[in-house]
Amino acid sequence: MLPNLTPDTDLAAELFAGLRAGSTDGEGVTREAYGPGERMAHALVRAAADRLGLESTVDVAGNLYMTLPGADRAAKRIVIGSHLDSVRQGGNYDGAAGVLAGMAAVAGMKRAGFVPGRDITVMAIRAEEAGAWFPVSYPGSRMALGLLKPDGLEIRRQDSGRTLAEHMKEEGFDPNAVARGEHAIGAHNVAAFLELHIEQGPVLETEQVPIGIVTGIPGSRRLRQARVVGEYNHSGATPRKYRRDAAAALAELVHRMDEEWCRLDAMGHALVCTFCTMATTAEAGFTKIAGEATFSLDVRSVSPHACDLMFEAMHRFMADIEARRGVRFERGPETGSRAAIMDEGIRAGLARAADALGIRHIPIASGAGHDAAAFAEAKVPSSMLFVRNQNGSHNPKEDMRMEDFAAACAVVQRWAAEMAQ
């Protein structure tokens, strides 16, 4: 029989305010990975853990573990967590809500004198926002789990140009230990991982449901540094048949990829396809035919086959456009991540907890990548809980009603207490 537990959402509200105050960047917040913003956030959360009397440790990659000891210290632990970095001028809840939900849950247990049967650890993960800082998926959690290959440490942060290893050393951590394979957690010592996160789309808000239980996290195939090479020429003096127009070639590729997406969608393939950036280069100008254009492409799906179908179509389209328009596509290096199906047992436990508390919920697929995918890859039973969010994500206007957050924290706390028995 579980005791009457209530999460400490006042503590969470205090920490949300502290994070915002310490990382305000104009209208939004910026907490750069392995930089001052993320450092501030980790220090703030660790100070709160110290006040609560939690056991705090940091691994060789800088991930922070704040533990409420259980009765059986040798048993596999329960881990609740997410990341504390943000995109540039982003919102205050993306990532941080998952860490602070864990803090609220264990603080409420501590206040009630509840001793779990096994350790419950709140984890603050480093550098999840790969698109904003390091172009590799989930480097912080992958280093914690021993999944990051040594060459991943040489990937450069996109604003500074310096490597992940250099930034880690600057923050006082040990990339050499990561390269040797040292890591803190995995299937050998973690029974389950749960990540709470704001939903980054409109489904829960539209359906008027406070929380969603995530069914899966998409994998991706990405081109970050692709370009089309044609020929610069005079816009007035060059007839169409003599043109090698990179801008027109890119526009055609975008149109044909969008039509292929529509075709696959109608066939039941769930995926998204986004040309995130498209631009002509500095040499372009008025009265010039564009001799070069750059672009980045992000294709995501829970089904690897769906991503493969889009890339196969892209290769066909590129070959046809090259032959007809006299241009050359250079795709550059491809990056990506694996899809992850969330653990059915944890999903069922979350549903039981929500039902016991009278909190409405629906199953929902994630459209974005999250650290839970790395845990699933490491064979750790993993799941996610989404909280209703207004105004999207990765922007200063992202929002979250505190009553929805409190409901989600209550579900997290009840699930963790049951799992830790």
Give the model's pLDDT for residue 390.
Answer: 92
Give the model's pLDDT for residue 66.
Answer: 98
Helix 9-23 vs helix 402-419: angle between axes, to the nearest 10 degrees? 120
d(CA 365, CA 119): 29
Of 248, 416, 214, 250, residue with least CA distance to 330: 250
Give the model's pLDDT for residue 421.
Answer: 86
Give the model's pLDDT for residue 75.
Answer: 98
Tens digit of each residue's pLDDT (9 = 90 or more) over 118-162: 999 999 999 999 778 998 889 999 999 999 999 999 999 989 999
SS3 state at 118:
strand
Give the model's pLDDT for residue 158.
Answer: 86
d(CA 265, CA 179): 41
Give the model's pLDDT for residue 248.
Answer: 98
Give the model's pLDDT for residue 170.
Answer: 97
Strand pairing class (190-198; 77-83): parallel
Give the model's pLDDT for residue 273.
Answer: 98
Give the model's pLDDT for residue 95.
Answer: 96
Question: Which residues, given as ranges, of the chain have pLDDT below 50?
Answer: none
Tens digit of each residue's pLDDT (9 = 90 or more) over 200-225: 989 999 999 999 999 999 999 999 99
